[in-house]
């Protein structure tokens, strides 16, 4: 949510900032702005409502803003409507402090009143303006310089923030601070970069510093210094990013989402490669000893959105294979409920970004309640990765499209590996079956690639239903988990209302919404539940539904019921989600394209939700 960039060096900052923002537009795109300054001159500010291209046009690609030091922002509105006034950067009246912010200042109203009493006036509805005027207030009150003013501000504000600030009296420097919102600093020779996420600076440097929680940074061209909240300087080692720069490009595809859908076999292959050694799952990756696995009493899987749907699928797999009770919780609910956790509870937090505010808060709650924690995370060095007791990195690479595809697929692999390992250690799986299951996992990338070969048929079908009003996705067990993700994909990028239902539950109310021509997608990959789901599909057909069946090769009698059928290769039913989801991702993609929508940046959404 919201993207921040910054640059200090010997080149013109504005074009570099615009380039960086274009890589962060997935984080928010309702307005954008730049603040640039040359030497000790005035800070120049330009803001624009709408997509980044409006700002780029307004500044002629950054050419109209001269200066070698600057900050930029792309916004996902929280406080205040999307408008030029509310767009960042914000500034004090005398431009003594200019800044950009990602996150939410929870006590901004109270602070605003206090500042108003001391004479500050406000031009925007944002919490950001309050934060930087508070910095200005402390700067003038204590006269201790920017680090001191920022530290005082951090102790006064509640909420989450990544801040990048420029001070009139400190030319050539940018100050950053962070709590619970991501921020990295890139170092490249005589240049220093700031970004919310790695892709923004990958073109310039691979050497990054992760700004820690409650830390402050003082940056100038080629120099970085970090401080804790007590203003003591702290030593920080840089990390090297080993991502391929091309991974953050579209690579010939029209949209990132389509590219990422096609990257799934490779991402799954890479992730499997990290887990499987000598035909076995390398038990070390989850960080738990065999004794700890044997002692586990319960598992919680906690996440948001698609990552939550991974948890729903994993629940069926882990309970069935390993015999451990699993509860799947939405992070936003988990964090506020009475938690009955202990050291024999494993809380697994799943997150692509590793920065989702609710998931991070849930992780902290779990730790506070004494549970062991494991993060399944894609973004290296992210907050969840750093704070969980153990972390498993999915190797999806940078995921840019707001709608997740390849990260979801790699998270599933982590869940399968966990289930198999737990089943083996707890004596629930014979050696032969274990080895056969691991071998089956290795077949998934090829099978996923085969599903992708069928995409033209799905494109044709999606075009037929591009103007659908409602779509229902139904399935039982693991197929219900697939349905949930298929439905979310459809909603988020095509804006078609859809619902996922446990197939047997539809008749308890929702079936009343089915009318002539309503599309019902029945997911049928689980042999034990096949007949049951077919019956539920028939119940909708007799009420006028148009049926799409999604099943495995061999189940050809589904065509007696379904009007249109998509087949995926056979696999162990526990792993079927990995294959069945691909046609549904494609279907959502093609419906979105047919409706002329912005597939990669759907309205109202942002890639990583760093606010509550």
Interaction of residue 356 with ligand AGP, rule CB under 6 A: yes
**Residue 488 beta carbon to ligand AGP: minimum distance, rounded to whole angstroms:** 6
CB of 300 within 8 A of CB of 327?
yes
- Binding residue (CB under 6 A) for ligand AGP from 31, 196, 345, 353: 353
Q: Considering only residues 276-315, where is the footprint of ligand AGP by CB under 6 A?
A: 304-307
- Cα–Cα distance for residue pair 98/111, rounded to 1 Å: 18
Interaction of residue 402 with ligand AGP, rule CB under 6 A: yes
Interaction of residue 25 with ligand AGP, rule CB under 6 A: no
Q: Output 402 or 441, the one with its CB closest to ligand AGP.
A: 402
Sheet of 345-351, strand order: 326-330, 298-303, 345-351, 372-377, 390-393
Interaction of residue 404 with ligand AGP, rule CB under 6 A: yes
* Residue 389, both tokens: 């007791």
Q: Which of 261, 160, 202, 90 is nearest to 608 (CA)?
A: 160
Q: Catalytic: 304?
A: no
- φ/ψ region of 145 (left if φ > 0, alpha if ψ in -120 to 50, else beta) reads left
How many residues touch ligand AGP under the rule CB under 6 A: the total is 15
Catalytic residue among 49, 406, 491, 607: 607
Interaction of residue 30 with ligand AGP, rule CB under 6 A: no
CA gyration radius, the chain: 25
**Residue 284 beta carbon to ligand AGP: minimum distance, rounded to whole angstroms:** 24
**Residue 591 beta carbon to ligand AGP: minimum distance, rounded to whole angstroms:** 15
**Residue 605 beta carbon to ligand AGP: minimum distance, rounded to whole angstroms:** 6
Interaction of residue 609 with ligand AGP, rule CB under 6 A: yes
Interaction of residue 351 with ligand AGP, rule CB under 6 A: yes
Q: Catalytic: 109?
A: no
Q: Which of 80, 68, 288, 84 is nearest to 190 (CA)?
A: 68
Q: Beta strands of 371-490 (E only): which ranges?
A: 372-377, 390-393, 470-475
Q: Which residues pair with 121 in a beta bridge?
A: none
- Binding residue (CB under 6 A) for ligand AGP from 352, 483, 552, 610: 352
* Residue 460, both tokens: 């044709």
**Residue 345 beta carbon to ligand AGP: minimum distance, rounded to whole angstroms:** 21
Sheet of 90-91, strand order: 90-91, 97-105, 159-167, 173-179, 215-220, 223-227, 233-234
* Residue 302, both tokens: 């906690």
Interaction of residue 394 with ligand AGP, rule CB under 6 A: no
Tell how strand 3-8 and strand 69-75 pair up. Answer: antiparallel
- Cα–Cα distance for residue pair 588/257, rounded to 1 Å: 10
CB of 18 within 8 A of CB of 6?
no
Interaction of residue 608 with ligand AGP, rule CB under 6 A: yes
Q: Output 304 or 361, the one with its CB closest to ligand AGP.
A: 304
Shortest-Cβ-distance residue relative to ligand AGP: 305
Site string for ligand AGP, 468-507 (x = CB under 6 A): ------------------------x---------------
Q: Output 198 or 429, the one with its CB closest to ligand AGP.
A: 198
Active site residues: 2, 607
Report the interface residues with ligand AGP, using CB under 6 A: 304-307, 351-353, 356, 359, 402-404, 492, 608-609
């Amino acid at each position: 949510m919201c993207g921040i960039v910054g640059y200090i060096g010997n080149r013109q900052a504005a074009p570099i900032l615009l380039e960086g923002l274009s890589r962060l537009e997935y984080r928010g795109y309702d307005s954008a702005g730049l603040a640039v300054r040359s030497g000790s001159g005035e800070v120049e500010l330009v803001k624009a409502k709408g997509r980044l291209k409006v700002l780029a046009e307004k500044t002629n690609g950054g050419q109209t803003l001269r200066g070698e030091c600057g900050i930029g922002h792309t916004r996902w509105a929280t406080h205040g409507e999307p408008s030029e006034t509310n767009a960042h950067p914000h500034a004090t009246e005398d431009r003594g402090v200019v800044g950009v912010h990602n996150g939410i200042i929870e006590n901004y109203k109270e602070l605003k009143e206090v500042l108003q009493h001391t004479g500050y006036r406000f031009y925007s509805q944002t919490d950001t303006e309050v934060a930087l005027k508070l910095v200005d207030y402390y700067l003038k009150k204590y006269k201790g310089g920017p680090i001191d003013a920022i530290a005082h501000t951090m102790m006064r504000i509640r909420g989450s923030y990544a801040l990048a600030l420029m001070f009139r009296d400190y030319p050539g420097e940018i100050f950053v601070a962070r709590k619970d919102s991501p921020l990295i600093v890139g170092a490249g020779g005589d240049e220093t970069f700031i970004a919310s996420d790695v892709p923004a600076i990958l073109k310039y440097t691979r050497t990054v510093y992760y700004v820690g929680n409650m830390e402050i940074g003082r940056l100038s061209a080629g120099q970085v210094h970090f401080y804790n909240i007590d203003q003591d300087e702290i030593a920080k080692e840089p990390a090297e990013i080993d991502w391929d720069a091309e991974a953050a490009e579209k690579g010939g595809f029209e949209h990132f989402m389509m590219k990422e859908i096609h990257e799934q076999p490779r991402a799954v292959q890479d992730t499997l490669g990290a887990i499987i050694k000598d035909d076995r799952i390398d038990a070390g990756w989850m960080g738990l000893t065999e004794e700890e696995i044997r002692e586990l009493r319960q598992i919680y899987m906690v996440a948001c959105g698609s990552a939550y749907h991974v948890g729903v699928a994993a629940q069926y797999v882990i309970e069935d294979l390993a015999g451990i009770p699993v509860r799947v919780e939405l992070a936003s609910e988990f964090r506020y409920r009475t938690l009955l956790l202990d050291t024999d509870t494993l809380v697994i937090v799943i997150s692509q970004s590793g920065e989702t505010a609710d998931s991070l808060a849930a992780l902290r709650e779990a730790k506070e309640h004494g549970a062991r924690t494991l993060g399944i995370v894609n973004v290296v060095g992210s907050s969840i990765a750093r704070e969980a007791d153990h972390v498993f990195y999915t190797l999806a690479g940078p995921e840019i499209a707001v709608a997740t595809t390849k990260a979801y697929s790699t998270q599933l692999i982590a869940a399968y590996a966990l289930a198999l390992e737990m089943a083996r250690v707890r004596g629930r799986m014979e050696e032969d079956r274990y080895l056969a299951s691991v071998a089956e996992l290795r077949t998934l990338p090829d099978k996923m690639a085969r599903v992708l070969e069928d995409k033209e048929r799905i494109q044709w079908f999606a075009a037929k239903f591009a103007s659908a009003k409602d779509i229902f996705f139904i399935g039982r067990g693991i197929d219900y988990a697939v349905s949930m993700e298929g439905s979310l994909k459809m909603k988020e990028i095509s804006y078609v209302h859809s619902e996922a239902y446990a197939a047997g539950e539809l008749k308890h109310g929702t079936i009343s919404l089915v009318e002539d021509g309503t599309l019902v997608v029945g997911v049928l990959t689980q042999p034990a539940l096949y007949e049951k789901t077919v019956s539920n599909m028939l119940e909708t057909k007799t009420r006028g539904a148009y049926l799409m069946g999604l099943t495995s090769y061999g189940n050809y009698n589904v065509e007696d019921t379904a009007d249109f059928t998509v087949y995926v290769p056979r696999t162990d039913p526990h792993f079927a989600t990995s294959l069945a989801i691909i046609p549904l991702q494609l279907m959502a993609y093609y419906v979105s394209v047919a409706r002329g929508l912005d597939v990669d940046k759907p309205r109202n959404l942002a890639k990583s939700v760093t606010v509550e």
